[in-house]
């Protein structure tokens, strides 16, 4: 089981990177609106609006791609933990039914809820950034 944990460390570090990109991209919308109100409306420059829109749309598209990769990676990790943990549980446990249930619970947690845990540390940063923007 120790090798399973060490083999998943790079995957979880990648998931933290993906979460960082998607959470930073959540600040694109307030920044876009701030720049539109500060730069585009007073001057009426449509070229500035077009460039701001392209930058914001690109950032949001990249964030969406990272979110899809993060969800697929979490599903693959959950499946890997379920299959590997099930094999170990059946081979080494005297009560495999309970251990299989525990492995299933862990894989469900990782597959369904782990992305929320990756997003939680960003909440104070968002609050502070939006306070600064306001």
Cβ neighbors of 92 (< 8 A, separation 6 or more) are none
pLDDT tens digits, one per residue of 6-57: 677 888 888 888 888 888 888 898 889 989 999 899 988 899 999 999 999 9
pLDDT tens digits, one per residue of 115-124: 778 888 888 9
CA atoms within 13 A on the CB side of 11: 19
Question: Considering Cα of 63, then 68, then 71, then 77, what sign does the dihedral take?
Answer: negative
């Amino acid at each position: 089981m120790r090798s399973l944990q060490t083999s998943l460390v790079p995957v979880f570090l990648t998931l933290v990177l993906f979460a960082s990109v998607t959470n930073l991209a959540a600040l694109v919308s307030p920044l876009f609106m701030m720049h539109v109100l500060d730069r585009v409306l007073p001057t009426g420059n449509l070229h500035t609006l077009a460039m701001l829109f392209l930058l914001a749309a690109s950032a949001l598209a990249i964030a969406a791609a990272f979110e899809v990769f993060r969800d697929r990676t979490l599903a693959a990790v959950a499946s890997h933990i379920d299959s590997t943990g099930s094999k170990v549980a059946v081979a080494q446990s005297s009560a495999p039914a309970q251990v299989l249930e525990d492995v299933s619970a862990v894989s469900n947690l990782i597959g369904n809820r782990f992305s929320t845990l990756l997003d939680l540390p960003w909440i104070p940063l968002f609050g502070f950034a939006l306070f600064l923007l306001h």
